[in-house]
């Protein structure tokens, strides 16, 4: 029985939901979250409130909170597809790609819609499965031929598949279609990146085949100015690292030793790392001497021996020049990735990528990488004194730009170690615990979260230099 003028719980829930939906449609997300949250308090057993709360939280960027709401919705009604879709979105935005994949897969199993298929395809692509992504994009388009987002994604995934002619064809087919702003930006970015790829590929082949870098230098100089815009947000972050480098006192000289003749191999085998002790190094060296055929991690490690040797052989002042620095870094990447499956030796990325050590950090837009790299060299790098602190700025800059599709950390580490050698210090080698999946990665995340403070990175790196010293001492005693 209802008393006149007093709403029942059901009516209050309904009106609260209406207000939340009104605010959501108007783009007032914080208000929508407030009303949907209130609706879940009024009637915790109504799944609609939890779904709407989770969806609005994802849209507002409250992804951690959205996980709670959406998991509650799924516990009440496991077969509601939108809840799984939104859960996948929240997990993806948090960088939890495996969890996002599970959620999107569940959504597709419940209902194969163009949007659910597109989202599952996108996460497959992010997890390194472009072939599976391509098939799902095709399925989405069979259901909705006018779904422009899936068409753009299908065109750009051709780059991941290294079907560059097909990518160009599909991008051309998008001309004149009513694309959203984000879709248009994605198409434009991929076009510019493909243009630069085509301009540089013959010279990269020449560098690998003959060791001649002159054609690459000429090709880099010939890139038109209109293709050299920079990513100002990324540069601003790098300036924070540079300011920290200038404010910190250079660390005291680490111990030095005469590096063994096979130092390039030692440094290379510690890149992943493939070895973590003198005994493991000597065992691997013996296996290589006996003719073992490198594959997998060993192949990638052995490739880095050539990179270290090449980086040690250049005129170090070359790196103060934007064109020469780009030429050398591309050459190093080409050497590092020869024979490695699905890599593009020497080429900057053509589609968006991320660092697995910090999935939430936005990287430079693909079409802005070349301009960003050159501006970094001329305006930031060239104005810093050589040594560890500048080497750490290089490390952070290369990581934040994420210029190459993969292998950025190794290229940056080879460069950083040359900074150390340039001032007479021992290079750094890292164990698993201290490297890109351990202490060094954590220190990089700390630098980003503190506006660029390199203090923790200095501590971790000087520790790695001491490890190098100890390694040299142990090797000498063998």
In this prediction, residue 5 carries a pLDDT of 58
In this prediction, residue 422 carries a pLDDT of 96
State the Cα–Cα distance between residues 209 and 298, nearest whole angstrom. 22
In this prediction, residue 233 carries a pLDDT of 96
306-340 burial, b if ≥16 CB within 10 A, otherwise e?
A: bbbbbbbebeeeebebbbbbbbbbbbbbbbbbeee
Contacts of 73 (CB under 8 A, 6+ apart): 47, 50, 51, 54, 80, 83
Provide mean pLDDT across the span 13-37: 97
pLDDT-derived band of residue 469, with 50, 70 and 90 as boundaries?
very high
Contacts of 471 (CB under 8 A, 6+ apart): 266, 278, 429
Contacts of 247 (CB under 8 A, 6+ apart): none
What is the per-residue pLDDT across 328-349, written as a single tens digit (0 to 9) for each? Answer: 999 999 999 999 988 999 999 9
pLDDT-derived band of residue 254, with 50, 70 and 90 as boundaries?
low
Structural domain spans, the chain: 9-111, 228-477
Contacts of 470 (CB under 8 A, 6+ apart): none
State the Cα–Cα distance between residues 309 and 298, nearest whole angstrom. 17
Residue 163, token pair as written in the block: 């079907």
State the Cα–Cα distance between residues 59 and 71, nearest whole angstrom. 17
Looking at the structure, give the CATH architecture of the domain made up of residues 228-477: Orthogonal Bundle (1.10)
427-465 burial, b if ≥16 CB within 10 A, otherwise e?
A: bbbbbeebbbeebbbbbbbebbeeebbbebbbebbbbbb
In this prediction, residue 305 carries a pLDDT of 98
Residue 372, token pair as written in the block: 């960003």
pTM of the model: 0.90
State the Cα–Cα distance between residues 414 and 267, nearest whole angstrom. 8
**Radius of gyration in angstroms for the set of CA atoms belonging to the chain, rounded to a whole number:** 26
What is the per-residue pLDDT across 175-204, written as a single tens digit (0 to 9) for each? Answer: 999 999 999 999 999 999 999 999 999 999
In this prediction, residue 322 carries a pLDDT of 99
State the Cα–Cα distance between residues 201 and 215, nearest whole angstrom. 10
In this prediction, residue 256 carries a pLDDT of 60
Torsional class of 346: left (φ above 0), alpha (ψ -120 to 50), beta (otherwise): left
What is the per-residue pLDDT across 262-310, written as a single tens digit (0 to 9) for each? Answer: 999 999 999 999 999 999 999 999 999 999 999 999 999 999 999 999 9
State the Cα–Cα distance between residues 138 and 158, nearest whole angstrom. 12
Contacts of 274 (CB under 8 A, 6+ apart): 284, 297, 298, 301
Residue 422: how many CA atoms within 13 Å on its side-chain side? 22
State the Cα–Cα distance between residues 218 and 232, nearest whole angstrom. 26
Residues of the chain with pLDDT > 90, as a percent, come to 92
393: pLDDT strictly greater than 50? yes
CB atoms within 10 A of CB 374: 19
CB atoms within 10 A of CB 174: 18
Which CATH number, 1.10.1740.10, 1.25.40.10, 1.10.3720.10, 3.20.20.70, labels domain 9-111? 1.25.40.10
Biggest CA–CA distance in the chain, Å, is 94
What is the per-residue pLDDT across 43-100, written as a single tens digit (0 to 9) for each? Answer: 999 999 999 999 999 999 999 999 999 999 999 999 999 999 999 999 999 989 999 9
In this prediction, residue 1 carries a pLDDT of 45
Helix axes 439-449, 388-401, angle to 10 degrees: 80
401: pLDDT strictly greater than 50? yes
What is the per-residue pLDDT across 221-246, written as a single tens digit (0 to 9) for each? Answer: 999 999 999 999 999 999 999 999 99
């Amino acid at each position: 029985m209802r008393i006149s003028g007093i709403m029942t719980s059901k009516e209050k829930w309904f009106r609260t939901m209406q207000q939340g939906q009104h605010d959501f449609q108007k783009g007032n997300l914080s208000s929508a979250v407030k009303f949907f949250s209130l609706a879940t308090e009024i009637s915790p057993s109504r799944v609609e409130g939890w779904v709407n709360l989770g969806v609005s939280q994802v849209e507002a960027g409250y992804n951690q909170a959205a996980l709670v709401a959406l998991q509650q919705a799924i516990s009440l009604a496991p077969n509601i597809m939108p809840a799984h879709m939104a859960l996948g979105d929240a997990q993806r935005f948090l960088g939890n790609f495996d969890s996002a994949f599970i959620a999107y897969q569940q959504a597709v199993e419940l209902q194969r819609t163009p949007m659910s298929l597109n989202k599952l395809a996108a996460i497959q692509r992010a997890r390194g499965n472009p072939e599976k992504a391509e098939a799902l994009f095709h399925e989405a388009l069979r259901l909705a031929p006018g779904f422009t987002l899936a068409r753009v994604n299908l065109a750009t995934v051709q780059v991941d598949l290294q079907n560059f002619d097909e990518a160009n064809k599909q991008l051309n087919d998008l001309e004149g279609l009513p694309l959203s702003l984000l879709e248009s930006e994605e198409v434009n970015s991929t076009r510019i990146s493909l243009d630069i790829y085509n301009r540089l590929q013959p010279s990269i082949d020449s560098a690998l085949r003959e060791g001649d870098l002159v054609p690459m230098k000429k090709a880099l100089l010939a890139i038109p100015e209109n293709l050299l815009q920079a990513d100002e947000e990324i540069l601003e972050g790098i300036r924070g690292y540079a300011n920290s480098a200038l404010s910190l006192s250079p660390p005291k000289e680490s111990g030095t030793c005469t590096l063994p003749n096979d130092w390039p191999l030692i440094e290379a085998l510690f890149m992943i790392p493939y070895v973590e002790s003198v005994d493991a190094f000597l065992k691997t060296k013996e296996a290589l001497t006996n003719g073992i055929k490198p594959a997998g991690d060993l192949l990638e490690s052995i490739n880095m021996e050539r990179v270290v040797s090449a980086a040690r052989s250049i005129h170090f002042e070359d790196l103060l020049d934007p064109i020469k620095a780009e030429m050398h870094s591309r050459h190093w990447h080409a050497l590092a990735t020869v024979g490695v499956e699905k890599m593009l030796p020497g080429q900057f990325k053509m589609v968006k990528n991320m660092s697995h050590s910090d999935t939430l950090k936005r990287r430079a837009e693909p079409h802005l990488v070349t301009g960003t790299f050159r501006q970094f060299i001329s305006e930031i790098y060239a104005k810093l004194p050589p040594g560890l602190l500048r080497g750490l700025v290089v490390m952070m800059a290369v990581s934040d730009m994420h210029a190459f599709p993969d292998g950025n950390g190794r290229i940056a580490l080879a460069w950083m170690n040359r900074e150390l050698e340039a001032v007479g210090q021992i290079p750094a080698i890292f164990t698993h615990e201290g490297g890109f999946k351990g202490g060094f990665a954590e220190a990089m995340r700390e630098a980003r979260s503190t506006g660029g403070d390199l203090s923790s990175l200095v501590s971790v790196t000087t520790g790695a230099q001491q490890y190098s010293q100890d390694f040299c001492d142990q090797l000498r005693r063998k």
